[in-house]
Amino acid sequence: MKKETGSITRILYQNEDFLIAVLRTESEDIKIKGNIYGVEKGETVAVRGTWDNHPKYGEQFAVESWERPIPQTEEQILAFLTSSMVKGCGKKQAKAIVQQFGGKALEIISEERESCLTGIKGIGKKRAKKIVGSVISTFEVQRIVSELLVYGITANMALRAYREYGANILAILKRNPYKLTELDLVGFQKADEIARRIGIMPTSGYRIEACLQYVLQKRCMESGHTYIPKEEWLEETERALNHQSEPSEMVSMDELEDSLMCSEEKLIVNEDECIYPKFLYQQEEKLSRKLSKMRGSRYGRGMPECDRQMEKYQRKNQMILAEKQREAIKQLFREQILILTGGPGTGKTTVVKAMIDIYQKMYPKAAISLAAPTGRASRKLSEVAGHEASTIHRLIGYRQGERPEYNKDNKLPCKLLVLDEMSMVDVSLASYLFQALDPDTTVLMVGDIDQLPSVSPGNVLRDMIHAGIPTVRLTEVFRQAQESQIINNAHRINQGKSILFDKEKDDFFFLLQEDPVKIAELMVKSAKRFMEMGYSLSDILLLSPMRKGPVGTIALNEKLREALNPPSPEKNEWKVGKRLFRTGDKVIQTQTNYDKQVFNGDMGIIQSFTSERDDNGDPVEVMKVNFDGNVVSYARNAVKELELGYAITIHKSQGGEAPIVIMPVTVSHYVMLARNLIYTGMTRAREKVIFIGTEKAMNIAIQNNQIAQRNSRLAERLVRLEERQKCRKEGIALSQ
């Protein structure tokens, strides 16, 4: 193994784990490649490895291990402290540190941390923390990464684990590499590979417990369950543990049962042989108790005044509310908690506006809050209701992993809460929200139970309706809505009937094509045609049930960008890892970022590439994205939150809408041909729907109403609590 030392003069390729660069040594320039974390142009590094020949980059040095030489002289230390690797340290601070500690500055900083810097002029606690963090991570993380790479733990994984566990991460992972699954860095099989390299026994208790937890979490998160039947869970775990094991290494069902008993005290709950992740059990239980209390608060206040205000509202708006709409308004003043449901064109928007207006007239001083699960859904609610709305997360001040600002000890200051797109709300978010409500807050939940359920665990809206929470279902399709083929066909699909076409109308089209590749081409041509007609990128939603395949979102996004936003000298680009971002690209936010106030599913357009000053006043490259007027800056390390959004999955489209919706319907997506997927996708369109595919695929989808069963006991809990309340009331009456 040969050692080379030199400075990095050019970086040819770099992502979070891998680097190809030019290293200038004393004798020659050589190309190096390997798992090198965080190296920058101009740095001096020492690398060890072997020579090989790459078909693209030619002869190069394959790095097996590397290190940054620790600066030894005062000049080297000064240069290091003022480099881009050290955050928070300018020239003045660097000179002061070197004057104070001389050639031992880095050693002292590593040992004494912030305490040695806070006495130096110009360095406060915040700046000291940044300097120490940079120094420690530069050398300590380097050592940790180097040691973990040999086990198959990448630099990015090691860094994230280091942030969680600190300097003890080496000892922790060598003892129990399955901790990586808890951090959601790898799946169980990858953790198993790492464990074998470290030398962990197949029958290790850490391994068994990790697999039990992994299977439970994976099944719940992928299938939307809040629990898994015990027998089913143990059998699946046994298969995962023994799928490649020698007979002597097989884990028995008895060993699984023993591990289960240990796990029950930690992260799971066993209720009647139903196995819950502990946090889902607690949220389902808390939600059921809160809903039960609110359901029991029936008061019927102000009914004569409600009738008068309804008449005034109708006269003012020159309209006549339908019988079911009037019933819904009256129910709002009878019940503390009410569900309003119905398909498109049944007047949900009309009656919600009436409810808010009448409530304001009756209680002018009462605070009203409107919210929805996503940013797009909240903006839509605000537009139709004429009242400010927010996301549920922002309403209660919720950030992942933290207690919401509004909670059971700090109630949300509102008397009427209107929640839209309730079918998208999972059990965790619903629990957090309802815990934050005052005992006398009235709640109106609006949603369409025929749409897709929440992405995360739970089936809250459907469970509440099944449990008897007061519900008004609007069924009458109004005359104006009957003119829309989109609405008529949406209702036909829900009834299991085939779609109908009126050639005299231009709002619903079905282009016949069987070949998936040609379907993709037609989708691109259709989008391009609408752009030529004057529609913008934001006006067009291309939806697919799946991410992979010729008509999946991944392939479609590349084809659509090539057609709708081709490269040109006027457009700047960023290449980040394998992903390319270009000025004018349509993008989608894939995770909620509370600091930027952008939410999972928000769609935007890349506006420009420029530079801004960071907290230390240093220039940093940023990409600016316009989300409906909210311009957000992304540094290179933050663009992992974004994906191309020319085409998105139907699940991601929930809560949003656009004038144009284009969807493929093909047997190549056979497993995703379901009635509620087609229904959800087409009801995102305000003006036109274009299906491209085959009648056979469409008929399969329409007839497939087998909604995947979700394991949830919310409805059961609500029914049980209601029965207990009735028994208590009857007992009191008898005793009297």
The answer to whether 614 and 546 are in contact (CB under 8 A) is no
Angle at 41 between CA 40 and CA 42, to 5 degrees: 110
With a CB cutoff of 8 Å and minimum separation 6, the contacts of 639 are 574, 576, 579, 581, 623
How far apart, in whole angstroms, are the C-alpha atoms of residue 292 and residue 284? 12
Residue with tokens 């190809």: 20
The answer to whether 696 and 209 are in contact (CB under 8 A) is no
3-state secondary structure 659-705: EEEEEEECHHHHHHCCHHHHHHHHCCEEEEEEEEECHHHHHHHHHCC
Give the burial string for 495-522 (b: 16+ CB within 10 Å, else e).
eeeebeeeeeeebbebbebeebeebbbb
Calculate the CA 42 to chain-centre distance.
Answer: 37
With a CB cutoff of 8 Å and minimum separation 6, the contacts of 122 are 92, 93, 96
Backbone conformation region of residue 68, classed left if phi is above 0, alpha if psi is from -120 to 50, else beta? beta
Rounded to a whole number of angstroms, the distance between the first and last alpha carbons of the chain is: 92
- 3-class SS of residue 23: strand
Binding residues for ATP: 345-349
Pair of tokens at residue 500: 């109908």
Residue type, 33: K
The answer to whether 626 and 607 are in contact (CB under 8 A) is yes
Give the burial string for 600-621 (b: 16+ CB within 10 Å, else e).
bbbbbbbeebeeeeeeeeeeee
Binding residues: 345-349
Pair of tokens at residue 613: 């000053």
CB atoms within 10 A of CB 577: 14
- 3-class SS of residue 371: strand
- 3-class SS of residue 585: coil
